[in-house]
Structure 1
Amino acid sequence: MAAPSKKPEAIHFVAIVFFLIAAVCGGGWYMVFKDLRQVQGQLKTANEGKSASDAAATRANQDVQELKQLLGNAQPEVGTMADPSKANTVISDVVNLMRRVGSLAAENNPAATPHVTAALNDFATRFATQDAELKKLRKDKEDLNVALQAVNAQNQARVDEALTSKTKSEADLQQNITQSEEQHKVKDQAIQQADEALRRETIEKEQLRDELVRTKEDFEKRITTLKQTVNFYRKQLQDVLDPNFETPDGRVTGVDPENHVVWLNLGSLDNLRPQTTFAVYVKDNTGVSRTQKDIKAKIEVTEILGPHRSKARIISEDLRRPIADEDPIYSPVWHHGQEQWFSFVGRIDFDGDGTYDRKMLEDRLASARAHIEVLVNEEGVREPADSKLTPRSKFLVVGPMEDPTLFPGQDEKQDQIKRVLTEHKALVDEATENGVRVINLQDFLAMMGIEPQQRLYRPGENRPFNLKAGARSTGINEPLGDRTSSGRVSGKYTPDRVNAQKESSGTTSGLFKK
């Protein structure tokens, strides 16, 4: 049998390893156990400290809850004094409350955080002040109540007196009402009797009024008939006798036919003004202002030369009857400085251009110191308003009247013409009643010495038109002077042949002799 080997076997190695592991583990467990004992000691110490802290925290929490209960605030979070403005905390609510109650500390120093004690002291002080004021007000109220009771007693006495007076007044009123009713019955009976009498009188008056209306209508018809008869006989009398009370205003004292100038026996003492126009009549006239046939020329005063001397230019002239010395002159709007009055109705057209020449009329009358008493304007309205024609008017001058039927579809124009025609009829009646002579505008202008002129030529219209007169200049910067034509024509064309064309003597100029 073989002897056992002394080399280590595998089991030996395993045992060694196991032993080493056991030794290491045993040392490790020893160290762990040792540390565990230390940790347990520390844990015990910590648990004892925690118990003390928990007890302190519990006491602090109890104190906080008691303070919350005391403050009446149930916010879960207390907050910090470092940030008292944080919302939803006990500290922020208390701070805001202290500020609301008006802490003196917060008012004196708004940046400082108010304290409860200071706020309560301040509130107590204010409360004491308010309580003192309240007591004073109560005392004042008691005094006022005493005074009010005294006033109420006086007022009650007055009310009682008024009630007594009212009772007496009502009794008196009832008595007066009873008396008034009896009086009203008597008056009603009298009124009924008066109404019956009035009814009978009214019937009688209506009958009288009807009779008066019939009588008035009869009188108006008779008056109209008499007016027509008077106008008829007046026209016949005028046609037969042709009475005329107008006299010449002056006469011609000199004539310059070459320069178309005449001289008059009127001047400054006669209150004559330049631009006054006159009609020149023949010496054997049938009466000035009677007919245009006696008018031979029209003149306009240009210069006042003396007390009874003036110069006038010839506006127009009948070449068959030239102006001569001692020819009478007349204008209805001028009479030795006396003021004349006239009334006008119809279209006042001086130059025949179809326009209303009111301004020209007023200027002509003003230059002769004449005035307008009544004028019916283009709209058919009297000027001045509500004016009446009186005997002061020398003439009623009637201009052309338009026919409203010539303006179909023009209602405004027709109404205007109808108003003018109505005023024309009324003015003619007023002139008849006041003995004022009625003449047409053409005769009036002719007697004034006004020559109608038309400045605008319109084809188809037979109206006068002035052409430029005179010759052309013979040099530059030559004075123009008066270049108006003298108006002389050859005797061959003179209608009356007074200055007939002279026959030739047969003698020729020496320039044409051989």
Structure 2
Amino acid sequence: MASKENQNLQIVVIVLAILVFILAGVAFWLNGKKTTAMARADDANTKASEAGRSEREMQAQANNYKVWIGYQEADTYDTLQESFAGDMEKYGKYFEEENRSYRNILENIFEENRLLGQNEVTAKAQVKDLTVRLLSLEKEKEAQIAKHIEDKDAAIAQKESLRNDFQQQREAMIEENRKIADQLEEQRTRIDELTAACADTEKTLNQEIEKLKRMLVVLKDNQAVPDPYAQPADGEIRLVDQRQGKVWINLGTLDQLRPQVTFSVYSGDTSDIYAAESKGSIEVTQILGAHLAEARISSDEPTRPLEKGDKVYSQVWNQGRKVGFALAGIIDMNGDGVEDLAQMKSVIAMNSGKVDAMPDGKGGIVGDMTVDTRYLILGKYPEGARKEEANERRSWMKINEDATTLGIETITLDEFLNLLGWQAERRTVKLGAGARAEDFPAIMRGDRIPQDTNSQRRKFRPRKPQAAY
């Protein structure tokens, strides 16, 4: 602390020296004024004497300032100026130019010392607090070390126990591996024997395959190449009884044929059903055997009667597979103005078909169409103003949009029934005196459904191949 007080005193002396230096400058100036005054008038002598005295006093003060700031009385102004510049460069380097003075430097040093003292007090308090915390941590560390040693001893004991268990399991596993190795060796021997037997069998089979390939090549060379785009028939007429209107075909129980299935009939020399013209239609009445069924002639032409060897084909029935259809609109099969939806579903079912989708009567659709759906059958478009017909119209639009998206072909109800060979039931009525008026109802021409007079307008389209699952 004594050195700091000496430094402070030196700084004060330096400041006083500066003040003395300033006073010396003023004395020099007064001395000049005095010389001028003596030259001008004699009465300036008195003033000069006073000025000399003042100068001596100021010189004495300046000398005192020099001593106060740590210099000798004999030090010149240049010496003081050079020392001041060095002190300012050393101690006042970070002060503004106008604030560079010994007093400002002393005040700054005092303030820094004061702050250092405060920081020292704070640091001592922190050191005390840290010492207390260190002692607490040391106690915790000792407790943790003791706990760690205890856990280590327990882990060593557990390791010994696990090592013993592992050794026992290892010995058991070695014994099991030895048994498995013996079994594996036996299996390898057995596999080698089977491999040798398989090799002999494979050699024999390859020889047979080569023989069969050669036979197949010969058979293919002798076989006519069929038209890959021709649609084959479903069956063939084996016998015809024109008097009773019956025929027998080569389809039966093994073909999953059922009564009431209808077929279109084509000439026996037809190889492509697409390009042929139908001779008539038949309806299965009785299944007689594995590949034999009886059917009635539902329609034919007198100029082209059905004959033995004629081909039969159905767009709905497919051997071993149900063909799907979709319905839209009002299904009126016999033109009596009454919807025959239930009868239509029955006719499709009798021909081993199924209904994939149809209107639900609420503007929606029951079921779902797929890419395998054969036709969308369009009934009469619902044009009424009733709520039910408005729902039917919404169903009509939705089911047609779905059919367009899936690429399903549409067909009118009349066209479908013609392709199916289906005809409405007709009963015999008496003519003449025994005739009844109710047997001849009036026909409303405005509701008549126009018939397609162009027999070549639509022919069967190719059956879609059965999906492979």
Q: TM-score, normalised by structure 2?
A: 0.40
Larger Rg: 1
